Amino acid sequence: MLTSIEGRSVIVTGASKGIGKGIARVFAQQGARVLLAARDLAQAEAAAAEIPGGLVSAVAADVSKAEDNLRMAETAIQRHGGIDILCCNAGIFPAAKLFDMSEADWDQVLDINLKGTFLSVQACLPALKARGKGRIVVTSSITGPITGYPGWSHYGASKAGQLGFIRTAAIELAPFHITVNAVLPGNIRTEGVQALGPDYIAKMTSAIPARRLGTVEDVAYAALFLASDEAGFISGQTIVVDGGQVLPESHMALEDLYS
């Protein structure tokens, strides 16, 4: 049994949909006070309204903008009296093959996924430090750190970059008892993945030993563990949440699995 996170102040970026909304819901179910951040305030407020308990609220913030991150941190401090846990989850995954990728395509993905992680962490640091301990959980991906996928070289670079970031951040923040870890989801059934279409989902499902896509809760409970008091000696590390997707040596390893 993990120590309760009841009453802790949590920020989840990219929480109006998908994995972020799942993290917000699971943390709120544990009694945490959760601030959901996303660019579209109406959607973030709608997501907050779906979570029972009255301990959640929303703020509009684009994580690629320093001033938005500062406003997000200030909002959590005003509403919750500080910040205990930051979940850097906001991310986008538009596809563009290398021959077609524009500089703007590259910049947009890196600005939101990688620079956004840095800016969210930096904005929340004074409040996390003031608490005397803190937890930062980054949503990276298997794509980039472990695998590749055509169309996502910029995305993979951003997600691998997040791991480079957490390893040094973990060292710098250790004196303040702030841990920095990452969850690496495989294919999770979210609005963003749903939009990739039924063909993508069917083919991807057949490539996963567990023969299903993940749920947002699968990722949220891994994040909850990394945010717990009991994970205080774990920093700069990763947890893969992928139903075994990265394990098969080739598609042959899966051929007779379900026959």
**DSSP code for 176:** G
Instruction: Sort 13 into a burial class: Cβ within 10 Å, 0-12 / 13-18 / 19+.
Output: buried
List Cβ neighbours of 26 (8 Å cut-off, separation of 6 or more): 217, 220, 221, 223, 224
- x/- string (CB under 6 A) for ligand NAP, residues 161-190? ------------------------x-xx-x
The nearer residue to ligand NAP, 108 or 177, going by C-beta atoms, is 108
Number of H helices, E strands in the chain: 9, 7
Angle subtended at Cα 126 by Cα 122 and Cα 128, rounded to the nearest 5 degrees? 95
Binding residue count for ligand NAP, defined by CB under 6 A: 33
Q: Is 139 in the site for ligand NAP (CB under 6 A)?
A: yes
How far apart are alpha carbons 155 and 95 in whole angstroms? 8
* Residue 236 CB contacts under 8 Å (≥ 6 apart), including other chains: 166, 167, 169, 170, 171, 180, 181
Single out the segment in contact with ligand NAP by CB under 6 A; choices: 78-86, 98-106, 146-154, 191-199. Answer: 191-199
Q: Is 193 in the site for ligand NAP (CB under 6 A)?
A: yes
Among 33, 59, 62, 154, binds ligand NAP (CB under 6 A): 62
Q: How far apart are CA 163 and CA 184, in angstroms?
A: 10
Least Cβ distance, residue 219 to ligand NAP (angstroms): 7
Q: Tell me: does residue 153 bind ligand NAP (CB under 6 A).
A: no
The first and second tokens of residue 66, run together, are 């320093």
Choosing from 57, 69, 89, 181, the residue that interacts with ligand NAP (CB under 6 A) is 89
107 lies in the binding site for ligand NAP (CB under 6 A): no
Q: Alpha carbon of 108 to those of 62, 67, 87, 118, 145: distances in Å?
A: 12, 17, 20, 15, 19
Q: Which of 20, 144, 145, 161 binds ligand NAP (CB under 6 A)?
A: 20
16 binds ligand NAP (CB under 6 A): yes
Q: Which is nearer to ligand NAP, 131 or 156 (CB)?
A: 156
Q: End-to-end distance of the chain based on CA atoms, in angstroms? A: 38
| Stretch of 2-10, 13-21, 165-173, 224-232 lying at the interface with ligand NAP (CB under 6 A) | 13-21
The residue from 50, 74, 172, 191 that contacts ligand NAP (CB under 6 A) is 191
Catalytic annotation, residues: 155
The residue ranges that bind ligand NAP (CB under 6 A) are 13-20, 37-40, 43, 61-64, 89-93, 112, 116, 139, 141, 185, 187-188, 190-193
